C-alpha cells in the first residue's frame, strides 16, 4: 500500500510517499518558509497559506517523480487537519480532498500532534505503546500517555506560552534572528548555564508555565548586567530543568520506562543530550526522531494516516473543505 502524506499546518509545505508493505518512506520533500517570515520575526499566517497554495502542486509532481510512481499507484491520501493555522490547514485539506476525489482513493484526516508522536516509530520500529510523549514546539508543550496509535490521553499542557514560542520571544529580545531556538543554542555554547537562576513555575503541578521565565529573562536583558551568552545558556538550562521536573511528576505517577520527545524544539542538540544523560541513570529510555523528522514533515502524516486506515478512521469526502480544527489538542 502506497500512502501520500500532506503537511501544511504552519509554515512547512511537505509531502511524503510511504510504502506500508515495506515500512519504508519512498520519497519526502520539505519546503521551508523560514526565509519568507524571518524579516517579520515570526510566522505570518496569510503569507504561510498563500505559499502553501503556490508550492503544493509542484511538490506533488516532484515527489511522484522521485519515487518513480504514477498518481494511480497511490492507495491512500493522508492530510493534517488539526491543529494549526486555519488558512494553512485549509489549503492542505482542500488540495488533499480534490486529489483523493480525483483519484477515487480514501482520505484520512491526521492530527498533527499524534503524527509527531508516531513519527518516532518510523525510525524506532521496536518502540511499542504504552509510553509517554512529550511534544515541544512553537505552538505546543504537552505530555500525553500513549496507549495505542489511536488512544492518546493528555496529562499535561502549558497554561500560557509554548516552549518554542518562549525561545523565539527571548531570541528576538536578544536581537537574534528568527527562528530563535537554533540561535540561542548556538550562542549558549559559550555561556555559563549556572550564571543566572531562573524560576520554575507550578512546581507541584504537572502543567507547564513559561511566562514567568520569559519575563525574568526579558528583565535581565533590560538590566544589561549579564553577558548574552550567559543569558542564553541559563535560559536554555532552565527550560531543561522545567521539562524534566514535569516529566518526573508524570513518570513517578505512572511508572513509565519509555518516553518519546518530539516537535520542533526536540531538534535542540543541548536538550537531547541533557535529557538522554539525565534519564539514562534512571533506567528510562528517551526516544527522539531524527532532527529532520522533528520538524513538520509529510513522512509522519503518511505513516499516521496508514495507522488510522487500519482502524478505518476516514475523513469523508462529503465534508466541507473548511473541516479543519485549528485549536484542537
The CATH number of residue 283's host domain is 3.30.420.40
Residue 142 counted as an annotated binding residue: no
- In a shared domain, residues 7 and 110: yes
Residue 253 counted as an annotated binding residue: no
Q: Which domain holds residue 24?
A: 2-116+295-309
Residue 161 counted as an annotated binding residue: no
Residue 297 counted as an annotated binding residue: no
Residue 112 counted as an annotated binding residue: yes
Cα–Cα distance, 62 to 115 (Å, whole number): 23
Tell me how far apart the terminal alpha carbons of the chain are, to the nearest angstrom. 29
- In a shared domain, residues 47 and 64: yes
Residue 139 counted as an annotated binding residue: yes
Cα–Cα distance, 31 to 196 (Å, whole number): 38
What lies within 8 Å, CB to CB, of 52 at 6+ separation is: 8, 13, 88, 91, 92
Residue 262 · residue 135 · CB < 8 Å: yes
Residue 92 counted as an annotated binding residue: no
pLDDT tens, the chain, 329 aa long: 999 999 999 999 999 999 999 999 999 999 999 999 999 989 999 999 999 999 999 999 999 999 999 999 999 999 999 999 999 999 999 999 999 999 999 999 999 999 999 999 999 999 999 999 999 999 999 999 999 888 899 999 999 999 999 999 999 999 999 999 999 999 999 999 999 999 899 999 999 999 999 999 999 999 999 999 999 999 999 999 999 999 999 999 999 999 999 999 999 999 999 999 999 988 999 999 999 999 999 999 999 999 999 887 665 544 444 466 666 55
What is this structure's pTM? 0.94
Residue 124 counted as an annotated binding residue: no
- In a shared domain, residues 148 and 112: no
- In a shared domain, residues 152 and 266: yes
With 0-12 / 13-18 / 19 or more C-beta atoms within 10 angstroms meaning exposed / middle / buried, residue 225 is: exposed
From the CA atom positions of the chain, what is the Rg in Å? 20
Residue 283 counted as an annotated binding residue: no
Residue 32 counted as an annotated binding residue: no
Query: Rounded to an integer, what is the distance from CA 62 to the centroid of its chain?
Result: 24
If you write DSSP's letter for every residue of 214-265 in order, what string do you get?
A: HHHHHHHHHHT-S-HHHHHHHHHHHHHHHHHHHHHHHHHHHT--EEEEESGG
Residue 165 · residue 139 · CB < 8 Å: yes
Q: Has residue 327 been placed in a domain?
A: no
- What pLDDT sits at residue 320? 46
Amino acid at each position: 500500500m502506497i500512502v501520500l502524506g500532506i503537511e501544511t499546518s504552519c509554515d512547512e509545505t511537505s509531502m511524503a510517499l510511504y510504502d506500508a508493505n515495506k515500512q519504508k518512506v519512498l520519497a519526502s520533500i520539505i519546503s521551508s518558509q523560514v526565509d519568507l517570515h524571518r524579516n517579520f520575526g515570526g510566522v505570518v499566517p496569510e503569507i504561510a497559506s498563500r505559499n502553501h497554495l503556490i508550492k503544493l502542486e509542484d511538490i506533488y509532481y516532484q515527489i511522484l517523480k522521485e519515487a518513480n510512481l504514477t498518481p494511480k499507484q497511490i492507495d491512500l491520501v493522508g492530510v493534517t487537519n488539526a491543529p494549526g493555522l486555519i488558512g494553512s490547514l485549509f489549503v492542505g485539506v482542500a488540495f488533499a480532498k480534490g486529489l483523493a476525489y480525483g483519484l477515487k482513493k480514501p482520505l484520512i484526516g491526521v492530527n498533527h500532534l499524534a503524527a509527531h508522536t508516531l513519527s518516532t516509530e518510523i525510525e524506532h520500529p521496536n518502540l511499542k505503546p504504552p509510553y509517554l510523549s512529550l511534544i515541544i514546539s512553537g505552538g505546543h508543550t504537552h505530555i500525553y500517555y500513549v496507549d495505542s496509535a489511536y488512544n492518546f490521553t493528555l496529562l499535561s499542557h502549558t497554561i500560557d506560552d509554548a516552549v518554542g514560542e518562549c525561545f523565539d520571544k527571548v531570541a528576538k529580545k536578544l536581537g537574534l534572528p528568527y527562528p530563535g531556538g537554533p540561535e540561542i543554542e548556538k550562542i549558549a555554547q559559550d555561556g555559563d548555564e549556572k550564571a543566572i537562576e531562573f524560576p520554575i513555575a507550578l512546581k507541584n503541578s504537572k502543567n507547564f508555565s513559561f511566562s514567568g521565565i520569559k519575563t525574568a529573562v526579558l528583565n535581565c536583558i533590560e538590566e544589561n548586567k549579564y553577558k548574552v551568552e550567559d543569558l542564553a545558556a541559563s535560559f536554555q538550562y532552565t527550560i531543561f530543568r522545567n521539562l524534566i521536573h514535569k516529566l518526573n511528576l508524570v513518570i513517578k505517577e505512572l511508572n513509565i520506562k519509555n518516553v518519546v520527545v518530539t516537535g520542533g524544539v526536540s531538534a535542540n542538540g543541548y536538550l537531547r543530550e541533557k535529557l538522554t544523560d539525565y534519564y539514562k541513570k534512571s533506567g528510562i529510555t528517551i526516544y527522539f526522531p531524527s532532527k529532520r523528522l522533528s520538524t513538520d514533515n509529510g513522512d509522519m502524516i503518511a505513516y499516521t494516516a496508514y495507522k488510522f486506515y487500519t482502524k478505518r478512521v476516514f475523513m469523508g469526502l462529503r465534508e466541507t473543505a473548511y473541516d479543519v480544527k485549528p485549536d484542537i489538542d
